Amino acid sequence: MKSSSLHIIAAATAITSLLLLCPCVASGTTVTVTVGNGGFFFTPSSVTIHPGDTVRWTWSSTGHSTTSGTPGHPSGLWDSGILAQGAMFTHTFNTAGSFAYYCTPHGGCCNMVGMVRVMGAGPTPTPPPPPPPPSGAVAVVVVGWRRFSCARRSWSRRLLPSLVKT
């Protein structure tokens, strides 16, 4: 019985570790910034997003750009080039930080500048380890929709070949 309990604990620990270490795929959101809507400015001029999010600049007038950096000092991260009314340009931000940008023709003379702030993800708290099952109890581990029970020997050999002992 003691050997069986150790196998249950080992299996539960392995499955818990796999679930914690397999990152979830999160889809980013898209934030829209209007370029040149009624003047030499971006609306809004500053946006705050998260890693994996995308900024979509849409042109409401002709003759503007979105260029990373500060006027006269492009950083090289992105440059839409000068586009016409109705155009769109997107950039996905994968790292945290503050990213200044400007319109190439109007950044220096008219202060047509903007800022994208990408907030970093906070640390993921480490969950406490599961308590060991009480002596003589049957442990059940639920993974997704499958149930693995030690008492009935219904462990899947394909999923846990090194942890199951027959």
CATH of the domain at 78: 2.60.40.420
Within-domain flag for 78? yes
Please tell me the chain's helix, strand, coil percentages from 3-state DSSP, rounded to the nearest 5.
Answer: 15, 35, 50
Within-domain flag for 114? yes
Q: How far apart are the C-alpha atoms of 107 and 82, rounded to whole Å?
A: 12
Average pLDDT of the residues of the chain: 77
Identify the domain containing residue 38 by its residue range: 30-118
Within-domain flag for 164? no
- Residue 149, CA distances (Å) to 132, 136, 145, 154 in order: 15, 14, 13, 6
* Number of domains the chain contains: 1
Within-domain flag for 8? no
What is the amino acid identity at position 17?
A: S
Q: Give the DSSP letter string of 24-44.
A: ---PPPEEEEEESSSSS-EES
Within-domain flag for 161? no
Contact present, 8 and 150 (Cβ < 8 Å):
yes
Q: How far apart are the C-alpha atoms of 16 and 79, rounded to whole Å?
A: 44
Question: Is the predicted pLDDT of residue 68 greater than 60, yes or no?
Answer: yes
Per-residue pLDDT of 81-106, as tens digits, reads 999 999 999 999 999 999 999 999 99
Burial (Cβ within 10 Å: 0-12, 13-18, ≥19) of residue 42: buried
Within-domain flag for 150? no
Per-residue pLDDT of 103-142, as tens digits, reads 999 999 999 999 999 998 655 556 667 777 666 655 555 4
Within-domain flag for 5? no
Within-domain flag for 84? yes
Question: Is the predicted pLDDT of residue 63 greater than 50, yes or no?
Answer: yes
